[in-house]
Amino acid sequence: MSSFIKKYETLVYIFIAYSFSVAMRMFWVIHFNGVDSFYWDNQMMINTNDGYFWASGVQNLFHHTMPDNLRVPGTEYGMVYFTYLVAKILPFSLDTIILYMPMVVSSLIVIPIILLMKLYDKEFLGFLAALLASITWSFYNRTMVGYYDSDLFALVFPVFIIYFLIKGIKEDSFKDFIIVMLLNSLYSYAYDVSAPILYSINLGFILYSLVFLRKNENVYYYIFLLSISILNINWELRFILMGIGLFIAYNNLIKEKKHQIILAAFAVGLFLLFNHVFELLWWKVYEYVATGTTEHHGLKFYQVHQTIREAGKIPFETFANRILGSEISFILGVLGYLLLVFKKKEFLLFLPLVGIGFFAYIGGLRFTVYAIPAMAIGAIYLFYFIFDKFIHKEITKNIALSIIALAFLYPNIKHIQGYLVSTVFQKEEVKVLDKLKSIASPKDYTLTWWDYGYPIWYYSNTNTLIDGGKHQDDNYIISKILFTDSPMLAANLARLSVEEYVKAHKSNNPIADKIFNDSNMTSYSFLEALKKKDFKLPPKTRDIYLYLPSRMMRIVPTILLFSNLDLETGMKKARPFFYRSSMIKEDRNFIYLGSGVKIDKRTSIIWIGRSKTMIKRFSKVFYDKQGKLHKETQQLRFNRGLNVIYMKNYGQFLVLDDQMYNSLYIQMFVFENYDKNLFEPVILSPFAKVYKLKK
């Protein structure tokens, strides 16, 4: 038995590490098994909004459900085509495949880590590092069951590429560089935002080669081959060039070293020229550290990146936790990696990934994942190096390393046990969209905040103006529609925006710039004109629906940011008052709403910290057993004060000023008050309400 294990040691390690990664990811499924609200069509739903972008593309390939959607992805995206092939081959529903695919693919990360350390006869070290890397915070968060996104390819490909680069260096093997070339091409197809990572790794190898491998007789061929494999040109032409390049290099048709240098330099120059490498890298850095507003044709719109949690600066503790599970683990990982580089300089090839991972400290938490493999290997290697000095028995050394590995694994396992995220939508919310699908046509538009765009595509087969990938200047339009106090402005702006967007037939172009500039008015005058009944609109070509979900109440202040500014100057306007509380405690005299907000029941005064103001209106809304909404409003004062709304079935209070109280979202979602000349309710559910535009 022991001889069998020894013979197949690598496969055993890979099998155990892969099984461990899968088992850890099944914790979320097991925990929520049987929770009815997480299931639709007898299958648990996914837990990332972006997953519905890819799933909509696959769904459209199978059933042509979105012929009028300008943004639905197709086979130009590897994520869509790969999922389509899997769904075509396997006897599982698309919902099942998108749920479990992240777990199945991302767990492959253990293979290159174990194989890499096998090159140094340290398979057990690689095995322990693979266990750790497979479940660290940020990698788990972005590859857990249900996190169906192209991130499942984000790290697996680069680590395979670096493994074959190191193997190719150690063995001076053309075969390994051929595999790297193929992986480069596959990665650029599979992961649509792979360019900065791919370019960094390959540039890193070129620099490493020029410093350390100049004496290698094939080094300039290697540089030449890698450079043409990542050229940003038509893929057929790229594969032809790769074939010609391989023929030249493998047969050593260019004998003179100086001519090989010229060939390599020419290929690198083409790569830098065609791929706009430095501009791309600079733009990616700028994109994630930029703040404030963007300006288009004189209009200044609010930027979205500063409202996205994964795109902002993060505390060091969070940064370290997401890479290895704790600050001490991270520090040990850094020390171990530096030691490893000192001992084995080829591990410098991980430096581009480490650099991108460390960029997360200022650029946002999504990047931490790239530092994980090097830090995991480094953390285990540090203790291997120490134990190797003092422990001579291999089995004793491995036991000691295993204990250390368990210490590293513990905070990551605890994180997995506590990371119990919800599905994107719950069953009752999907019911609303499924009903909308039976009412609407695939050419119709559903207007709502961009967070819900992709799920609306997938479950209702309607189109949206903004979504998870198109949320620039048009955020202003949706924000203005949701929080204007003029139903006429909302109706006119909705019709104008949709018809002009469809007419332009450009999927990613914001329409806000066009409609404001085509008006030949100031932004203020244009908005005032939209409030008029006789505003001239383009002909109606499709129906438009407003989707007003309950869950949007949580992000009202964020949505407001996008329309609560002067488009001419970019200056923020006075912020409307809005406060939502689910922290409710009551005694004889007060209702406590948390954060220093309390209502004095005796005097109808509301305290906000140390300041106080009168309550102007007090409204109570609730649903009866038949699902019918009832409204009760007390007008306490007429001239000033804040409004309080008690939403009984939701267990929450809203405290808001007149501007917010009279906004479309509050009136139409909370009270079901609407202008009957402009809107028609089609679905009224406590979870979401859908109104059809009559204009």
Within-domain flag for 572: no
For helices 257-275 and 219-229, the axis angle rounded to 10 degrees is 20
Domain containing 233 equals 2-418
434 shares a domain with 411: no
* Average pLDDT for 436-461: 98
Is pLDDT above 60 for 472?
A: yes
Phi, psi of 593 (to 5 degrees): -110, 10
pTM score of the predicted model: 0.92
295 shares a domain with 245: yes
pLDDT > 90 fraction of the chain, expressed in percent and rounded: 82
Helix (H), strand (E), coil (C) string for 630-643? EEEEEECCCCCCEE
Within-domain flag for 110: yes
Q: What is the pLDDT of residues 574-619, one digit of tens each?
A: 999 999 998 778 898 999 999 999 999 899 999 999 999 999 999 9
436 shares a domain with 413: no
Within-domain flag for 365: yes
| C-alpha torsion angle, residues 203, 208, 210, 211 (rounded to 10) | 150
Domain limit, last residue, from 387, 418, 449: 418
213 shares a domain with 262: yes
Within-domain flag for 573: no
- Contacts of residue 108, Cβ cutoff 8 Å, sequence gap at least 6: 18, 156
- Contacts of residue 226, Cβ cutoff 8 Å, sequence gap at least 6: 177, 180, 181, 184, 202, 205, 206
Mean pLDDT, all residues of the chain: 92
Domain limit, last residue, from 418, 443, 470: 418
Position 558 confidence tier, pLDDT thresholds 50, 70, 90: very high
Q: Give the span between the Cα atoms of 264 and 609, in whole angstroms.
A: 68
Position 275 confidence tier, pLDDT thresholds 50, 70, 90: confident
Q: Is 273 helix (H, G, I), strand (E, B) or coil?
A: helix
Within-domain flag for 289: yes
Within-domain flag for 607: yes
Q: What is the CATH number of the domain that holds 446?
A: 3.40.1380.40
Domain limit, last residue, from 386, 418, 450: 418
Whose tokens are 């322990």? That residue is 128
By mean pLDDT, which of 282-296, 414-428, 523-537 is the weakest? 282-296
213 shares a domain with 141: yes
- Closest by CA to 686, choosing from 422, 439, 483, 432, is 432
Burial class of 346 by CB neighbour count within 10 A (0 to 12, 13 to 18, 19+): buried
Q: What is the pLDDT of residues 91-110, one digit of tens each?
A: 999 999 999 999 999 999 99
Q: Give the span between the Cα atoms of 157 and 464, in whole angstroms.
A: 33
Position 359 confidence tier, pLDDT thresholds 50, 70, 90: confident
Per-residue confidence (pLDDT) for residue 582, from 0 to 100? 84
pLDDT > 70 fraction of the chain, expressed in percent and rounded: 94
Is pLDDT above 90 for 639?
A: no
Is pLDDT above 60 for 286?
A: no
436 shares a domain with 412: no
392 shares a domain with 484: no
User: What's the token pair of residue 664?
Assistant: 């479309």
Q: How many domains does the chain have?
A: 3
Q: What secondary structure does DSSP assign to 135-200, as a single string?
A: H-HHHHHTTSTT--STHHHHTHHHHHHHHHHHHHHHHT-HHHHHHHHHHHHHHHHHSTT-HHHHHH
289 shares a domain with 235: yes
409 shares a domain with 444: no
Within-domain flag for 567: no
Is pLDDT above 60 for 307?
A: no
188 shares a domain with 145: yes
51 shares a domain with 176: yes
Burial class of 692 by CB neighbour count within 10 A (0 to 12, 13 to 18, 19+): middle
223 shares a domain with 127: yes
Within-domain flag for 360: yes
